[in-house]
Each structure stands twice: as structure tokens, then as C-alpha cells.
């Protein structure tokens, strides 16, 4: 078994080097004038790249890749990114060929070490943890990360999942979905993770999960670094900074909240208009048309 897994890992690695330039996000970022270093150029530099693993749980995986790689790519550091999937079910939003070409399975990387792990959000805010199809795999990855990952970032739904797995905190759910662009306040301006932030900043949210700051303070030893105006925790981390949590979606594009809103409308739901998303003197329909225009 060990020999078979080692061979499989080597195939995945070689496949990624051969196919990485075909990842849609590469051309997407270049069109935005974001610097993307080729493998051949990177290999000629005497710099050890940061190894970052992204566990992509979002349904529109290509869009999410674009968003996170945009943030990681525009950096003087070399970042070697691997994409991980743990849901073996057929995707309705991402071609199987894309997943097969660019994603690895947990068995392929479980013997490796990474500098960073990013666990994305997922549209599972109203689903009980034990009803999530890949809940056992989520727990397996988080347990593995304790010994194989230096720092882990959890985003939105992944925050809720991690708080349950790591701290035993039950699922906390809002009655209405929190959607929109909200103001936040820095609590520790000299903290490493908030260095360079203004005292207040805007960030998008799209979640049913509830993260009252009092809950985090009372039931964990995590340090809250930023809060919403309503007293929800936005950014918090362990004292050793090995795990960090962001309850919103700082990676979202300008159009993502609008796309989610119109998706829900077309599905026959009655979502609230995302807070502070649409200009006051323009209708949601007008803004939708603008967002649909090619850029």
C-alpha cells in the first residue's frame, strides 16, 4: 500500500507541474496584471517556496481558485499551491476534467508537510455537521494538520466546522442569512495579523453561521483581533498564531454577493438584498446588468 501511494503522489506532482499553466486562474490573473511566476523560472531561483494547500469546499471551484490565487500570487514570495478535494461525489458546477487535472486527493498528500492550509467556506450553513457528506474527511484533515501544517486559515463555514471539531462548540445559526458588506473594528492594532489595517475596514459576509464574540471568549482561548459593529467576531487566532479564523469572505470578488443574491431569487427564495452592496440610486436589476457586462 505504501509503495502504491508513493507512486501515486509522484504522478500527481508531475501532472501538476505539466498542467499548472493550463489552470484557468493563471490566465485570469495575468489579465488582471497579477504576477504569476512559471515553474521553470521559479526553479531557477534559490528560494524555498511556501507550500500552501487549499481545501476548496466551494461549489464553484474555479471561481474560488481565482479569488484565493489572486491574493496569494501578487507577492514577492514564491508560493507553491496545491488544490485538495475530499468530496468524491460528482460536481455539478466544476468539470470532472478540471478536478482530475488540478486537484489531489488526501491520500496523495498525507505524508507531506505544508507551510499553510486554507480551508474555504461552503454553502452548508443550515446543514447539521453529521449530515455533511464529507464530515469524517473534514475531521481527518484537521487532525492531520496538527502535525503536518505550520499555519491554518479557516474561512466562513470552515470556521464553524473547526470550532466544533477543535473546541466542541455546537453549531450556532442565525434566523436570517447575513449577506452584505459590513464595517469592522480592529481590537489589537499591533497584532501580527492586523498589521497595516486601518482602525475600521469593510469586508463581505455571506453566512447563516453566528459567531458572537462572547461565545469565542467564554469557550476558547482564542484571541479576537477584529469584530463587526454588532459584536460578532470577524478575525481571531490562537495565541501561537498556528490557526486563524475569518468569519466573512474577504476573498470575494465585487460581483460575488450579487451573483449569490440573484441565484437565490431565481431559485424562488426570498433573500434579503445584501447590505450596502447596491448603490442607493440604482436598482439591483441595473447593477446586475452591469455585473454581467464583459470586462
Q: Is 289 annotated as a binding residue?
A: no
| Distance separating alpha carbons of residues 168 and 164, to the nearest angstrom | 4
Cβ atoms 102, 82 nearer than 8 A: no
Q: Is 229 a catalytic residue?
A: no
Q: Which of 156, 184, 205, 260 is catalytic?
A: 156
Q: Check residue 171 and report its DSSP letter.
A: P
Cβ atoms 86, 106 nearer than 8 A: yes
Characterize the bridge pairing of strands 243-246 and 149-155: parallel
Buried b (16+ CB within 10 A) or exposed e, 179-193: bbbbebebbeeebeb
Q: Is 241 annotated as a binding residue?
A: no
Helices (H), the chain: 2-19, 24-31, 39-43, 61-73, 96-102, 106-109, 135-148, 157-167, 213-219, 256-266, 284-292
Cβ atoms 258, 251 nearer than 8 A: no
CA-to-CA dists, residue 78 to 5, 36, 83, 174, angstroms: 27, 9, 16, 40
Give the rounded distance of the alpha carbon of 277 from its chain centre: 21
Q: Is 184 a catalytic residue?
A: no
Q: Which residues pair with 80 in a beta bridge?
A: 51
Q: Which of 63, 184, 249, 260 is catalytic?
A: 249
Q: Is 104 a catalytic residue?
A: no
Q: C-alpha cell of 243?
A: 490557526
CA-to-CA dists, residue 58 to 41, 142, 147, 158, 210, angstroms: 31, 17, 25, 11, 19
Q: Is 177 annotated as a binding residue?
A: yes
Q: Which residues pair with 119 in a beta bridge?
A: 55, 154
Residue for cell digits 455533511? Answer: 132
**Binding-site sequence positions:** 177, 206, 263
**Binding-site sequence positions for substrate:** 177, 206, 263
Catalytic residue positions, numbered: 156, 249, 251
Amino acid at each position: 500500500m505504501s509503495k502504491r501511494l508513493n507512486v501515486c503522489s509522484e504522478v500527481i506532482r508531475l501532472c501538476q507541474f505539466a498542467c499548472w499553466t493550463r489552470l484557468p486562474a493563471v490566465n485570469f490573473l495575468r489579465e488582471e496584471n497579477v504576477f504569476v511566476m512559471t515553474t521553470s523560472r521559479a526553479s531557477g531561483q534559490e528560494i524555498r517556496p511556501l507550500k500552501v494547500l487549499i481545501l476548496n469546499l466551494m461549489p464553484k471551484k474555479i471561481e474560488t481558485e481565482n479569488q484565493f490565487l489572486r491574493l496569494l500570487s501578487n507577492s514577492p514570495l514564491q508560493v507553491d499551491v496545491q488544490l485538495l478535494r475530499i468530496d468524491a461525489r460528482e460536481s455539478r458546477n466544476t468539470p470532472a476534467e478540471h478536478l482530475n487535472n488540478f486537484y489531489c486527493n488526501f491520500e496523495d498528500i498525507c505524508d507531506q508537510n505544508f507551510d499553510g492550509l486554507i480551508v474555504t467556506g461552503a454553502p452548508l450553513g443550515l446543514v447539521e455537521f453529521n449530515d455533511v457528506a464529507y464530515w469524517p474527511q473534514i475531521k481527518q484533515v484537521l487532525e492531520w494538520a496538527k502535525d503536518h501544517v505550520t499555519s491554518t486559515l479557516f474561512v466562513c463555514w470552515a470556521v464553524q466546522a473547526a470550532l466544533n471539531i477543535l473546541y466542541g462548540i455546537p453549531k450556532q445559526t442565525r434566523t436570517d442569512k447575513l449577506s452584505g458588506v459590513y464595517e469592522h473594528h480592529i481590537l489589537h492594532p499591533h497584532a501580527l495579523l492586523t498589521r497595516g489595517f486601518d482602525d475600521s475596514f469593510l469586508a463581505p459576509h455571506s453566512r447563516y453561521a453566528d459567531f458572537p464574540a462572547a461565545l469565542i471568549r467564554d469557550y476558547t482561548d482564542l484571541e479576537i483581533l477584529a469584530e463587526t459593529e454588532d459584536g460578532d467576531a470577524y478575525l481571531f487566532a490562537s495565541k501561537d498564531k498556528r490557526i486563524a479564523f475569518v468569519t466573512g469572505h474577504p476573498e470575494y470578488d465585487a460581483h460575488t454577493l450579487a451573483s449569490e443574491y440573484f441565484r437565490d431569487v431565481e431559485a424562488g427564495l426570498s433573500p434579503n438584498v445584501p447590505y450596502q452592496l447596491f448603490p442607493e440610486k440604482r436598482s439591483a436589476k441595473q447593477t446586475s446588468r452591469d455585473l454581467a457586462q464583459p470586462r
